[in-house]
Amino acid sequence: KIPYLKSLGVTAVELLPIHEFDETDCPFSDPITGERHRNFWGYNSISFAAPKAAFASTGRTHGQHFEFREMVKAFHAAGMEVVLDVVFNHTGEGDDRGRTYSFRGLDNQLYYMQTPDGRYLNFTGCGNTLNCNHPVVRDLLMTCLRYWVGDMHVDGLRFDLASILGRDRRGNVLLEPPVIESIVEDGVLADTKLIAEPWDAAGLYQVGGFPFGNRWSEWNGKFRDDVRRFWKGDLGMAGALATRLCGSSDLYDRSGRWPRHSINFVTVSYTHLRAHETKANLVCRLLLEKK
């Protein structure tokens, strides 16, 4: 598909999560044949440094790492960048009713945010929330990020529900989250594009104010909302539309931040296939990033 994408003028592709996940976690079946549907959206990662074997023709012989690297090389040869969607806010283990793959069995209280009585804190809408700012978890995430950039040569990282990275083990919002600071200060990631989805499922909304923001681009949810309201004919939206098209100066004209920090998109949709467990992300994303 690379020649086709290049003919459209595409200069970068963003891959939905390709970390290993369980495609059999979909609860729905074909009403006619009874065949169980599979979930290939990938937003329930169970291994942050393993490419999905089923996506590779040589997956049965463990060739997925080689195939992924060769794919990235092919995009680069065509003058196109590769952005990887990383889901570090939760895992496919779900809540207390979910399957145990690794983290829950290794150290449940270390890897997941929990209440004092041991219930999972659910800031993701997916049943659990990764305890990102614990030193052990932070080291794991940084190791994985360095692998994808240093060994697999991806050009950018888009962090799903990135505001989760700014919470402590009890869910309190941190002013200078250690894991976000580690990402922005890391030498291996120095030339990597960092893109935050600057909100979470519990109401933390940081568009225009993501921590250490001069290093991050942000999904501009206000651009999406204002453009869509204008399109569907809401009254009084001309001024808001002009603000968005002129660079969202109300959000990005301060503290060394500029319109280039805004990722302007028109549509993105999330669908919960299983309550508190599975999140699917609509493939259609229109990115109007200014370069």
What confidence tens digit (pLDDT) does each residue in 6-37 have?
A: 999 999 999 999 999 999 988 899 999 999 99
pTM: 0.89
Q: Rounded to whole angstroms, what are the CA distances from 253 to 209, 259, 265?
A: 11, 7, 19
Round to whole Å and give the CA distance between 269 and 285. Answer: 9
Looking at residue 25, its pLDDT comes to 87
**If DSSP codes are grouped into helix, strand and coil, which group holds residue 3?**
helix
Q: Measured between alpha carbons, how far is 112 from 104 in angstroms, rounded to an integer?
A: 8
Parallel/antiparallel/unpaired status of strands 45-51 and 19-21: antiparallel
d(CA 86, CA 92): 13
pLDDT in tens, 214-258: 999 999 999 999 999 999 999 999 999 999 999 999 999 877 889
Separation CA 207–CA 153 (nearest Å) = 28
Which residues are catalytic, by number?
160, 197
- Residues forming beta bridges with residue 270, ordered by sequence position: 281
